[in-house]
Structures are given as C-alpha cells and as structure tokens.
Amino acid sequence: MCGIVGYIGRREASPIIVDGLKKLEYRGYDSFGVAIIGSSLTVSKHQGRIAENANSAGSLQGKLGIGHTRWATHGIPNEINSHPHTDCSGEIALVHNGIIENYAELKRALLAQGHTFRSDTDTEVIVHLIEDRYKETQDLLSAVQATLPSLKGSYAILVIRNGEDRLIAARCASPLVLGVGDGEYFAASDMTPLIEHTERAVFLEDGDIASVSRTSVAIFHGNEPVNRPIELVDLRLEDVKKGGFAHYMLKEIYEQPQAFYNTIQAVRDLSLSPEITCISPITLVACGSSFNAGLIFKYLLEEAGNIPARIEFGSEFKYFPPPVGGTVIGITQSGETADTISALLQAKAQNCCTIAITNVLGSSVSRVADRTIFMRAGPEISVAATKSFVTQLAVLMQMVNRLSENTYDEILAHGHHVIEELLLMDFSDAVDLCMTAQSIFYVGRGAFYPVSLEGALKMKEIAYIHAEGYAAGELKHGPFALLSPKTPVIAICMPGKTYGVMISNIKEMKARGAPVIALGSAGDKELIDIVDLYLPLPGNNVFVQVLASLVALQLIAYYTAVALGKDVDKPRNLAKSVTVE
Ligand code: G6P
C-alpha cells in the first residue's frame, strides 16, 4: 500500500530510486514520483506505471533523493496527488506511506495560516507542518521531530530539504527499513529494492526517527537517541527476480513445492502449548486470501481434531468485537494488514493470547502478537497470493497435526510432491471454458468450500471475470437463477461423506445448462460421466486434496488471465500490502 525508497550516497540517486520503486510496485502502482537534490530540489511525478515514465524520473541529477509508488487513498490517482509533496516554498519534499487520520483539521488550520495546498491528499499536511517547524528550528531533524506528535494515524515518511545533505526517515505503524551500504544509505518500505545493493539493514521501530547522512545514521525514539542493530538479511537477488518466467505469479506458483517443504521443516517441532490447548477456544482473524486459509484451518481442525474454531474478518472484528477468550490467531502474509493488526490489538485488550502467522520477519504484526510463527515462502512479488497461501496452509495444517496427535506427519512431509504433480497438469481445456465465461461459480463442501472461495478470488483478481465461491449446497438458494451455458461451475468433488450430495448438486447444475468442470479423485467414473470436463487430482486424504485443488485453481486463474491479456502481476485497483483500514 504505497512503496517508498530513499537514497543518499556517492552515486546518482534517481536511477537507484526508480529501479527500487519498480520492485515495490506490488504495493501500489497508480502513479509515482521522485524528488532529487542536486544543484536544487527537482521533482518528477507521473500518473500510471513506472515503466512508462522511468526515463524522465530516472534522469534527475543528484546524489540524494526520495521516491514513491502510490495506491490512492485520499485523492484520485493523478500527477498532482502523487508523491513527493512539497511545502509552499518548494524547498522541502516528502513521501508517505500510511494515512493521516486527522489531516482535515490540520489542513483547515494550515490553510487559515496561509499555506497553499496543491493536492487532495492527507499527506500534504505533513510537509506544510514541517515547513512551519523548520522556520522555528532551522533544522530538518528537529522540524520533523516537532511535527510528528501532531499526526494521528499511520506513516512511514522520508523527508529531504534543499541545502541539507541528509535524509530524514520516520515510522509509525507503517514499515520502513534502512539499508546500510559502503558510503551510502538506502531507505525503503521493505528489503526487496535494497537486496541488490546491500544485505545489511536496520529495521526502524514505531516512533523512531532517523537522520541519515552519507556516512552515518543517528536514530531517535521521539527525541531520545537509541541504538538499533544492523541485521544481516537472508534474501537472495534471485528471490526478487522473475528468473525466466513470464510473470512473478507463475514463478511463485512453481516455487510452491519448495516453499511448502521449507515451511513444514521450519515448523516441524512447533509447540502449541501453553497458548493452545484443547479446552481453550480458538479464534482466527484475517483478510483476503489469508481469511480463506483460516477457514480451511477451521474445517480441518474441527474434522481432524474435533476442536471448535471460529474465524472473523479483521475489518469486522475491530468495530464489532465478538466475545472472545483463549487464543486469537492473526494470519497475514505481509504482516502489515491494518485490519488484522487492529483485530489482534482488540483481542489483546480482551486478555486473549495472540499468535501471528506471517511471512515477513520484523513486520508490524510480529511486534503486536505475543508470539509469531513465520512461514518460509520467501518474497512474493505478484499481488495475488499463491506461495504465501500455500505456506500459510503448511503452518495451519501443522497446527492441526499437532492438535490431533501428529496423525498427519507423513502426509505433511510429502505435501510438496503433490504440488509438484499438479504443476505437470494441463489446464488448457478448463481455460477455454473459463475465458469466455460471463461469470463462474466455484463450489465445494467442507474444507473445499474455502478452497472454492480462494479459487474464485484468484479468478476475480487477475482475470477480471466475475467469480463466486459457494458452499455447494447453497447454489440452489439463489445463484441457480444465474446458471447458463455462459456460466460454468467448477466443482470440487472428492470421495468422502459429501460425495453423494455433491454428485446430486452437479446433476442439478447440469440440468440448468451450466457446463461443469470437476476436480475429482483419479479414476472417478461416476463423475467423468456427468461433467463436461474432469480433472483428476492426486491424493486420498483431505489435506492433500486441499493442496492439489488449490494449486489447480491457481493455475486455471493464471492461464485464463494470460489468455485474456491481463496484467497478471499487477491487477487493476489492488495492492499486495493493505496498510489502511
Ligand atoms: C491484499 C492482497 C491479498 C491478501 C490480503 C490480505 O488484498 O492483495 O492477496 O490476501 O491483502 O493480506 P495479508 O498480508 O494480511 O495476508
């Protein structure tokens, strides 16, 4: 949700910043801008993708600068609303990720004092406030320190001023990391743009302000100097490159066997007591795909372990907190989703024990939760969650395994092989049926119902085809009215206690003219006879079948989006990390 990059050093800043912003485009990509200090402060801002205007932004001269790639919140995506924003004099420039909740009242006061605003953003108030404080202090660091207490909301900001050879960075509830080079420093929303320059990083904490020069960095918590350690970040350049794949999404789908294996290894000895015991209720909070992973967990846990679990949307939990006790688990691949973090804070206020499951070391959620379990997906660049989803499942399945006395050890140890098998399958017939569809229904029962939700979400996000996931038995309560030859149904129909009713449901759908694509178990003759397209999946256990059907639906969505010529990695209007409520 907006990406920021800053640089100070011996090299030209703008190409480094523009290149860094491209790597952060997954956080937002409706407009971007760069401000550089050379002989003066120059700003270059553009609507649209970075690749379209990289040359003009990347050719500004100077060795100190800041940049921003935007996911609009306040003000439409256009050149004026894009960052950096400057003060009235044009001497101070600022980029911001987050939301200033009290910007309206601050703006009214600043307007009354005679400040001129150019944009509709909440961000612009910050740079005008700094301008005022600078007049009093004549020092950029002091001006920023004096400004931040007036702000309510979340921010990661970078600030520069013409004539000052330093970069000021500050964060509160939005991520910010400093990269430590040799005679140069970097700042960014995460390590992705920094890894090709340095593996040494300082993760700022909420309330930190850093004054960064070419040769040193001084960090303050409010006004007090603090030491933050330099950490070595274990990321490889290949992790953030496409590596010969047409899209990051495809690369990340192909990385799933390894990611699942790595995560299972990492949580092999996961201990769940004392947080979770069979007698304490478990509540999960999550958003988007992470919610779907949580819902799969609920079904698996209740079926395998006979332990009740409930799941709530993070966005609902904060404002309508249900009565909770025991353990609350927040699932968030980015570790930055504002709604999930708020929900965990709310749960803490209700004296619950909180656990976070996330993919990002040092992310905000890990500072909020009592305990954090890390997935080992590696960086995920494509906006649509794939390997992060599968590794969330790895952690959650291992939890179910632990809570049901390690019954699934063997299955989980071989889960990656199932995903490998799926990667060899051909989905072109399914893609042919989907790409001309007006709408697609995805149906399943039990744990396959949330798999349907996730399959439909993938199709919506990247192929822009209206798709809905449904519990199979519910389709007759309304959606049947929409079934037609242009409305295929993707049905996940596995052997087990719901097999018979699924077969009946599929016949009902067929009778209403909908083509049915079935994901079933290998050699299921009954299913083959009644559906239009049958895709046999490996596995005879629900854990394995969940993984297999999920990967099949990811690939169907991916190839459909490619066939329709969509921008798979950066779908319109979306962002990967959603740090606003
Ligand atoms: C965004 C992403 C989704 C993701 C959701 C929750 O909407 O596009 O892919 O599932 O946020 O993100 P989280 O980081 O909390 O898992």
pLDDT tens across 4-52, in order? 999 999 999 999 999 999 999 888 888 999 999 999 999 999 998 888 8
Average pLDDT over residues 463-487: 94
Question: Is any ligand 1 atom within 6 A of the Cβ of residue 64?
Answer: no
**Bridge partner list, 327:** 282, 353
Buried b (16+ CB within 10 A) or exposed e, 329-338: bbbbbbbbbb
Ligand 1, pocket-test mutation among 576, 579, 580, 581, most atoms within 8 A of CB: 576
- Please state whether the peptide bond connecting residue 84 to the residue before it is cis, i.e. omega within 30 degrees of 0: yes
Question: What was the pLDDT predicted at 442?
Answer: 98
Cα(415) to centroid(ligand 1), Å: 24
Question: Is any ligand 1 atom within 6 A of the Cβ of residue 385?
Answer: yes
Which tokens in the block code for residue 99? 């939301």
Residues of the chain with CATH 3.40.50.10490: 242-413, 423-567
pLDDT of 581 over the 80 cut: no
Q: What is the β-pairing status of strands 92-100 and 153-161?
A: antiparallel
**Bridge partner list, 340:** none
Average pLDDT over residues 143-172: 96
Residue with tokens 């409930």: 310
DSSP character for 173? Answer: B
**Cβ contact 175:218 at 8 Å:** no
For ligand 1, atom 14, the nearest C-alpha belongs to 334
Cα(395) to centroid(ligand 1), Å: 17
**Cβ contact 487:479 at 8 Å:** no
Question: Is any ligand 1 atom within 6 A of the Cβ of residue 494?
Answer: no
Residues 493, 530: Cα–Cα separation, whole Å: 12
Which tokens in the block code for residue 532? 């239009």
Q: For residue 2, indicate whether it is catalytic.
A: yes
* Residue type present at position 241: K
Which tokens in the block code for residue 87? 């003060």
Residues 487, 436: Cα–Cα separation, whole Å: 9
Cα(577) to centroid(ligand 1), Å: 6
Cα(323) to centroid(ligand 1), Å: 25
Ligand 1, pocket-test mutation among 311, 313, 337, 380, most atoms within 8 A of CB: 337
**Cβ contact 278:269 at 8 Å:** no
Average pLDDT over residues 268-289: 81
Helix axes 448-463, 542-563, angle to 10 degrees: 10
Question: Is any ligand 1 atom within 6 A of the Cβ of residue 580?
Answer: no
Q: For residue 107, indicate whether it is catalytic.
A: no
**553 SS3 class:** helix
Cα(579) to centroid(ligand 1), Å: 10
Residue with tokens 């010529």: 565
What tens digit of pLDDT does each residue of 537-577 get?
998 899 999 999 999 999 999 999 999 999 999 999 888 77
Check residues 578 and 13 and name the one with the higher pLDDT.
Answer: 13
Atom of ligand 1 nearest to the CA of 575: 8
pLDDT of 273 over the 90 cut: no
Residues 322, 344: Cα–Cα separation, whole Å: 12
Does the structural domain 423-567 have CATH classification 3.30.420.40? no
Share of the chain above pLDDT 70, in %: 99
Atom of ligand 1 nearest to the CA of 337: 15
pLDDT of 532 over the 60 cut: yes
Confidence of residue 274 (pLDDT cuts 50, 70, 90): low
For ligand 1, atom 12, the nearest C-alpha belongs to 332
What tens digit of pLDDT does each residue of 80-125 get?
999 999 999 999 999 999 999 999 999 999 999 999 999 999 999 9
**Cβ contact 290:332 at 8 Å:** yes
Q: What is the β-pairing status of strands 466-471 and 64-70?
A: unpaired
Cα(337) to centroid(ligand 1), Å: 7
> Of 387, 458, 570, 576, which is the active-site residue?
576
Confidence of residue 241 (pLDDT cuts 50, 70, 90): confident
Check residues 397 and 57 and name the one with the higher pLDDT.
Answer: 397
pLDDT of 278 over the 60 cut: no
Domain 242-413 fold: Rossmann fold (3.40.50)
Question: Is any ligand 1 atom within 6 A of the Cβ of residue 340?
Answer: yes
Region class of 62: left (phi > 0), else alpha (psi between -120 and 50), else beta: left
**Bridge partner list, 170:** 157, 209
Question: Is any ligand 1 atom within 6 A of the Cβ of residue 372?
Answer: no
Which tokens in the block code for residue 133? 């404080």
Q: Which helix (H) or strand (E) holds 471?
A: strand 466-471
Average pLDDT over residues 461-482: 95
Q: Which residues contact 58 (CB under 8 A, 6 or more apart)?
A: 14, 15, 17, 18, 19, 34
Question: What was the pLDDT predicted at 558?
Answer: 98
Question: What was the pLDDT predicted at 472?
Answer: 95
Q: Which helix (H) or strand (E) holds 36?
A: strand 31-37
Atom of ligand 1 nearest to the CA of 383: 8
Residues 176, 96: Cα–Cα separation, whole Å: 11
Question: Is any ligand 1 atom within 6 A of the Cβ of residue 288?
Answer: yes
For CA atoms 574, 365, 398, 443, the dihedral sign is: negative
Which tokens in the block code for residue 21? 């912003």
Residues 313, 330: Cα–Cα separation, whole Å: 10
Question: What was the pLDDT predicted at 275?
Answer: 65
**CA angle centred on 162, ends 161 and 167, rounded to 5°:** 40
> Of 158, 457, 435, nearest to 296 (Cα)?
457
Ligand 1, pocket-test mutation among 26, 290, 395, 461, most atoms within 8 A of CB: 290
Question: What was the pLDDT predicted at 450?
Answer: 98
Residues 83, 95: Cα–Cα separation, whole Å: 6
Residues of the chain with CATH 3.60.20.10: 3-238
DSSP character for 302? Answer: I
Q: List the alpha helices (DSSP H) in 227-337.
A: 248-254, 256-266, 288-300, 314-317
Confidence of residue 177 (pLDDT cuts 50, 70, 90): very high
Q: List the alpha helices (DSSP H) in 226-357.
A: 248-254, 256-266, 288-300, 314-317, 338-349
Question: Is any ligand 1 atom within 6 A of the Cβ of residue 531?
Answer: no
CA distances from 298 to 283, 293, 336, 496, 499 (A): 9, 9, 23, 18, 20
Question: Is any ligand 1 atom within 6 A of the Cβ of residue 383?
Answer: yes
> Of 279, 272, 352, 276, nearest to 312 (Cα)?
352
> Of 455, 454, 467, 442, nearest to 293 (Cα)?
454
* Residue type present at position 454: E
DSSP character for 280? Answer: S
Average pLDDT over residues 65-81: 92
What tens digit of pLDDT does each residue of 350-395 get?
999 999 999 988 788 988 999 999 999 998 999 999 999 999 999 9
As a residue count, the chain comes to 581
Q: Which residues contact 475 (CB under 8 A, 6 or more apart)?
A: 441, 443, 483, 489, 505, 508, 509
Region class of 156: left (phi > 0), else alpha (psi between -120 and 50), else beta: beta
Mean residue pLDDT across the chain: 93
Cα(331) to centroid(ligand 1), Å: 10
CATH class of 3-238: alpha beta
Look at the pTM and tell me if it is higher than 0.85.
no
* Phi then psi dihedrals of residue 107, to 5 deg: -65, -45
CA distances from 568 to 78, 141, 289, 444, 458 (A): 23, 41, 16, 26, 10
> Of 2, 287, 352, 493, which is the active-site residue?
2
